[in-house]
Structure 1
Amino acid sequence: MTVKKDASGHRSVQAEVEVPGTPEAVWRAIATGPGISAWFVPTELEERAGGTTVSHFAEDSSMDSVAKITTWEPPHRFVAEAPQEGPGPVATEWSVETRSGDTCVVRVVHRWFASTDDWDGQFEGHAHGWRSFFRLLRAYLAHFPGQHAVSFQLMGITSGPKAAAWEALTRPLGLAGATVGTRVRAPEGVPSLGGIVESSGPSEWPELILRLDTPAPGLAHLFPLEMGGQVFVTVRYFLFGEQAPGAKAHVEASWRAWMARLFPPAAPPA
């Protein structure tokens, strides 16, 4: 998505998705902590103007994203502002627009001020990332609306190339070349996984979103990301229902051990 610029130096980039549900149901998914945590990353959100929202991108607090809510207009719009090194304060606006046929458009817009193009590429990357997460949001609202999730995320790091890392992850799981609508089930000897392919990315941006029935109802999100000369291979699980807490403990341990074998940590320099 191209960055929009005006004469004063204000810039913006946006992404949007059409999702099933009423404005109230969609609002709960994008503007409450449990709702956001069911398709994005673990998040706490104070539902008021002046409140704080905190998104946890890592198990510790090292990658927390903290923002202050400046506008709160449920169930249609809220704005949160966060400081960022380089571009300075960045305002992120979320909106829910009603469409006919029991659907809504969710739109996220990042706005910032800059006198140069130095940060444009970073924000264009943000817009691409939102489109990926919005596929998860759409699957969540289609199949698990209003449900709370237990989740985990694991990451393997390799030198690449990206295509080889993706092949190394997906082929043992029986997912290589999987297409939308395909029923998949992992073979013995790998982490438990079974369900329907909800989304499959192109070769230049490989990605799989699975609607799980094994080990519990839920969603799985698998993708590789090139950054800093390395490839980060990520697996996210969102599990729902009474089985979810018990399934999470077993499956996360299984994935953690398997990923460590598949993408062993680099030895520290001598």
Structure 2
Amino acid sequence: MAKEFKIVHESEIDGTPQQVFDAATVGNSGWLWPMDGEFEPRVGGAGPYGSTVTAWDPPHRFANHVDGEGGFFNSLEYDISERPEGRSWLRYVHSGVFFEDWDNQYDGAAKHTAFYQHTLGQYVKYFAGKQAAFADIQGPEASKGPDAFKAVKAALGIHGAGAGGHVNVAIAGVGDVDAVVDYQDENFVGLRTGDAMYRFFGRNAFGAVVGMTVHLFAGGADGDAAGAAWGAWLNGLYS
């Protein structure tokens, strides 16, 4: 049975409203994933995945909406206010429909939202305006186990709770990755280097496999090669 949801997340971002607006509308590969097309910059304009732009007021408001079969819809809203010293306040609203397992899906979506919005803030602060070579990597079926994400943390050398500190991990085909731990909780880990961000998702908590994304900002970076290397590393944790 279809049931609507609404997730609201607010955060201060170390960047201007224009940088935040651009990140939401053209810089998605740097913090989320590459969009399938571009947003037509006007209310009523076409957007990726068959969506329609429902608000376009740069740099303060952007929203889009998509309808589907069986009562499905998905809406994203960004309200951006200027703060002192080049900062911004972002109010992000995601609303839509889940068709089954509502509580689990809502819990997963809310926790993913917090992580993605943190990653947006990291992108704006450190890599604003840059596109990224991107890779999305999914673990094997064995990574659905209840303790599967602990293997990722152990392999990265992450212990305890919270962000802060550094990790150094050797990845065959990539080399040594020396990174700041910019995010860590039970289900997610974020690593940041001078020219990359790595995001790890403990989706085993929500009935899926463990996954990760790679965002490479160095010129000439090869997302496919990095994805293959990290994929071999991730799969090796469960073999």
Shorter-chain TM-score category? 0.7 to 0.9
Unaligned runs of 5+ in 2: none
Match of 1:254 in 2: 229
Match of 2:43 in 1: 49
Match of 1:16 in 2: 10
Partner of 2:155: helix, strand, or coil? coil
Match of 1:40 in 2: 32
Counterpart check, 1:79 vs 2:63: yes
Paired letter, 2:234: M
> Counterparts of 2:238 and 2:153 in 1: how far apart (Å)?
13
The more displaced of 252-261 and 84-93 is: 84-93
Please say which structure displays the higher CA radius of gyration.
Answer: 1
> Counterparts of 1:99 and 1:234 in 2: how far apart (Å)?
35
Partner of 1:52: helix, strand, or coil? coil
Question: Aligned pair in 2 of structure 1 residues 124, 251: CA closer, same or farther (>3 Å)?
Answer: closer
Match of 1:3 in 2: none
Counterpart check, 1:25 vs 2:19: yes
Deviations 1:29-63 (A, max 9, x none): 1122xx12210111132222222332xxxxxxxxx
Match of 2:219 in 1: 242
The question of whether the paired residues in 2 share the 8 Å contact of 1:69 and 1:79 is answered with yes
Partner of 1:21: helix, strand, or coil? coil
> Counterparts of 1:159 and 1:113 in 2: how far apart (Å)?
27
What RMSD over aligned residues (CA atoms) do the two structures have, in Å? Answer: 3.1
Question: Aligned pair in 2 of structure 1 residues 135, 112: CA closer, same or farther (>3 Å)?
Answer: closer
Paired letter, 2:137: L
Question: Aligned pair in 2 of structure 1 residues 261, 220: CA closer, same or farther (>3 Å)?
Answer: same
Larger helix percent: 2
> Counterparts of 1:188 and 1:110 in 2: how far apart (Å)?
35
Q: Summarize the alignment of residues 74-153 of structure 1 with structure 2, pairs less than 5 Å apart.
A: 74-85=58-69, 87-111=71-95, 122-123=105-106, 125-153=108-136
**Deviating runs (4+, > 6 A) in structure 1?**
none
Tell me the number of residue pairs that the alignment of Structure 1 and Structure 2 aligns: 233
The question of whether the paired residues in 2 share the 8 Å contact of 1:152 and 1:236 is answered with yes
Partner of 2:163: helix, strand, or coil? coil
> Counterparts of 1:159 and 1:26 in 2: how far apart (Å)?
34
Question: Aligned pair in 2 of structure 1 residues 80, 236: CA closer, same or farther (>3 Å)?
Answer: same
Partner of 2:149: helix, strand, or coil? helix
Deviations 1:129-171 (A, max 9, x none): 21110111111111111111111010113264333x1122232
Paired letter, 1:17: S
Counterpart check, 1:208 vs 2:189: yes
Match of 1:226 in 2: 204
> Counterparts of 2:16 and 2:171 in 1: how far apart (Å)?
41
Partner of 2:210: helix, strand, or coil? strand
How far off its partner does 1:172 sit? 2.6
Partner of 2:202: helix, strand, or coil? strand
Instruction: Report 1 or 2 for greater relative contact order, CA contacts < 8 Å, sequence distance ≥ 6.
Output: 2
The question of whether the paired residues in 1 share the 8 Å contact of 2:165 and 2:181 is answered with yes
